[in-house]
A and B are shown apart, each in its own frame.
Chain A
Amino acid sequence: MLEVLSGFVGELRAAGLPVSLAESIDAADAIRHVPLEDREALKYTLAATLVKSSTHWRAFETAFEVYFSMRGDEFSIEGTAQNLSPLELQELRQSGRGAMSSGGLPAGGAGGEALSAEELAEMIFRAMRSGGDAELTAAARYAVARYAGMEAGRPVGGTYYLYRTLRNLDLERLAERLVEAAREDAPSGRFTTLEARMAAEEAQARIDRLRAEIESEIRRRLVADRGAEALARSLRKPLPEDIEFMHATKEELAALRRTVQPLARKLAVRLARKRRHGRRGPLDFRATMRRSLSTGGVPVYPRYRFPRPAKPELVVIADISGSVAAFARFTLHLVHAISTQFSKVRSFVFVDGIDEVTGFFEGSEDVAEAIANVNTRADVIWVDGHSDYGHALKVFMERWGEEVSSRSSVLILGDARNNYHASEAWVLKELRSRARHLHWLNPEPSAYWDSGDSIVGEYALYCDSVVECRTLRQLERFVADLA
């Protein structure tokens, strides 16, 4: 057991979770107190001692499934219906037969070893409708054995097998049938739109469960085939704060969006506290004298005024062309979510033309909505819709340059891939002399800078700093230092 545990802890660390030595000792101590055959209890025990942040839960769950999955011959890849335990087979047949008698289908095939495709579909439908756990698990196992077509020895994470199984099951049709069934169950004439919505959601929730069940079934078989360590390696995914903006998938972007709001809130609280408590203000003479009365007129305890440091003014100029759009969105989101920490935030977006979008943020209380507006309504196309930093900066200088003052910090977001247009770097030189700070945030790894059409080096000459900003973690650090 200890060996499995230390392998597990190693995997968690490799996935980016900060598990300390003390915590792994705690885990080892804790599992003495729970019955090992109770998988759920074991899972929560390990989670309580090893995982100290809710954003790490997914990574933990994946690793747990791989390391503490059920093992044994019956989970091998070649497994088919024959490998199901007799009890499960019994269950399957019963639910299958029940389905057919109620659905009016011919009840012939259920006697054989394998079920036909229609029978399997019917069986899954029934399992989903009743919502019983055991039935669902059995159905998932059967579906995987039949459709996934798994081959031993392949170094894969199982996404392809999942895709193949799901394609054969036709989940959309299944969802429709579940809603249909709910409609029939409802007393006549009372199936309102509200209930339709509820039914659709219920169906979706059950389908999600079936999908999860199938996924873990595939994983179990992969573990049996390849061993826990190898599989864990191919399943490893970055934590939300380590996802790269430029290469994020749709699901990862959704995870990022969920992370950015709490992050902004935390950042705002931290900055506000830093501002209030970080420094001492000037001596408060009145308060000091008053306080000295209690020590016989001797000013033993000096009092200070609360510090009120000036808040910086922020000017954000963001490239929102395709390649870096996600990065610009998250930065704008973060900056506006903590806009109370700045005296003023002005935002500009560009592709080859440039437009001010501050109004979108001021008009609405919902930052996410404002950002959607930026994408659809800002006027940023000048010629062909390919990034032209030179032109955008020149226009910015002509129209708004006067408004940049010695209290402004200017942030430029983009990869500086200029499509071989003129750089117009003199604009930055000019901006630098007016503004308090000029920073460039680049979402590309620094190894790629100045390769191809990237001319960030040319601009860097005039910036206070050029910062690599590939992940939310890096972005957070930068913004915290800025305010």
Chain B
Amino acid sequence: MKPDRTERRHADAGGPPAVDPMGFFDPGPPRFGSITDVNERLAGAGYLADEGMSSVVYLADRLVKPVLVEGPAGTGKTELAKSVARITGSRLVRLQCYEGLDESKALYEWNYSKQLLRIQAEQVLEENRGWEEIEEDIFGEGFLLARPLLEAIRSVEPVVLLVDEVDRVELETEALLLEVLSEYQVSIPELGTIRATSLPMVFLTSNNTRELSEALKRRCLYLHLDYPSIERERAIVLARVPGISHELADQVARIVRSLRSMELKKHPSVSETLDWARTLVLLGVDSIDAEQAGATLNILLKYRSDIERASKELAGTAGPDRS
């Protein structure tokens, strides 16, 4: 027996759980027709995905599993989640992680001051109701402040939940996410368990500053977002920078690839590439030479030693060592 979506609308422990005996969730109607469909719709929203990315997004919907996106800064991890929200017409709920994030900021919190006011109002109005009644009242949903995770679970409209930079929270806080990610439910002692009304798509991003726990990784689909291939980078530049010529976009992509092959402290990210391309367009450059590249390198590279090394190499008469 498979419960349909309308039945699952009903939150609390009421309806039958949307889990089959094997522990798989019923994914409901598919959001995407096929992997190519994902790719095309993402491209329509201005996000050029490669096959790996579209496959994972497609699977995330079909398997009802969160996606853990890892990779260097500025390769479009957050943007991927935003774009998926856009093309599926979902609301984006974002949880920005930081060191010291706790339950009351991630899951839910009781609205203490409102509860206190409620009790005081009781005294003023002299209604003389029993404590039990008041308790039931002040621990109702009206006094609950939903934080992003609970908000995503409770939402009736479709939602994309983005847990940004999950590697910044401590290991213990990570465990908080596990219940939400694997069961799509939140347990509140005073209220009981709240189940997802419509299963959200979940994206977690990580900059890899620490190893995430095995438990978390096991529950997720894994996507490593590296710097794009030269063809994709060129396409991204063409799509995102208005008024850029094909030749310039090609040159930009090639110079950036060249920079990424050098031993630098921080390699230029996709967003920095875009900034650079925009600058070049604004400056009216139509073909980059070594001098112009050197003069505008500070947009691509953020360390003095990197800039020095790169401009030396780009201006050098010798090609790369291996040729």
Q: Are B305 and A45 in contact (CB under 8 A)?
A: no
Q: Are B209 and A269 in contact (CB under 8 A)?
A: yes
Of A62-70, A113-121, A189-197, A417-425, which stretch is located at the interface? A189-197
Please indicate the chain B residues that have their CB under 8 angstroms from the CB of A47 in the complex. 52, 222
B167 CB → nearest A CB, Å: 9
Interface string of B236-273 (1 = CB under 8 A from A): 00000000000000010011011001010100000000
Q: Are B210 and A33 in contact (CB under 8 A)?
A: no
Q: How many residues of B contact A (CB 8 A)?
A: 53
A477 at the binding interface (Cβ < 8 Å): no
A59 at the binding interface (Cβ < 8 Å): no
Please indicate the chain A residues that have their CB under 8 angstroms from the CB of B211 in the complex. 266
B192 at the binding interface (Cβ < 8 Å): no
B315 at the binding interface (Cβ < 8 Å): yes
Known: A26-B63, A190-B287, A269-B209. A41 touches B320 (CB 8 A): no
Q: Are A203 and B70 in contact (CB under 8 A)?
A: no
Residue in chain A with minimal CB distance to B208: A262
Q: Are A40 and B51 in contact (CB under 8 A)?
A: yes
Q: Of B56, B217, B288, which one neighbours A194 at CB under 8 angstroms?
A: B288
B284 at the binding interface (Cβ < 8 Å): no
Q: Of B226, B254, B316, B317, which one neighbours A198 at CB under 8 angstroms?
A: B254
Q: Are A201 and B223 in contact (CB under 8 A)?
A: no
Q: Are B221 and A49 in contact (CB under 8 A)?
A: yes
- By size class, the interface of chain A is 35 or more
Q: Of A29, A30, A192, which one neighbours B289 at CB under 8 angstroms?
A: A192
Q: Are A193 and B317 in contact (CB under 8 A)?
A: yes
Q: Which of B278-323 contact A (CB under 8 A)?
A: 287-290, 293, 305, 314-317, 319-320, 322-323
A40 to B261, CA, bound (A): 26
Q: Are B222 and A52 in contact (CB under 8 A)?
A: yes
Please indicate the chain B residues that have their CB under 8 angstroms from the CB of A193 in the complex. 290, 315-317
A163 at the binding interface (Cβ < 8 Å): no
A405 at the binding interface (Cβ < 8 Å): no
Q: Are A45 and B261 in contact (CB under 8 A)?
A: no
Please indicate the chain B residues that have their CB under 8 angstroms from the CB of A48 in the complex. 52, 55-56, 59, 67, 221-223
Q: Are B265 and A45 in contact (CB under 8 A)?
A: no
Point out residues on A near B: beta carbons under 8 Å. 18, 20, 22-23, 26, 29-30, 33-34, 38, 40-41, 44-45, 47-49, 51-54, 57, 175, 179, 190, 192-194, 196-198, 200-205, 262, 265-266, 269-270, 273, 277, 365-366, 368
Lowest 3 A-B CB distances belong to which pairs?
A200-B323, A200-B319, A44-B55
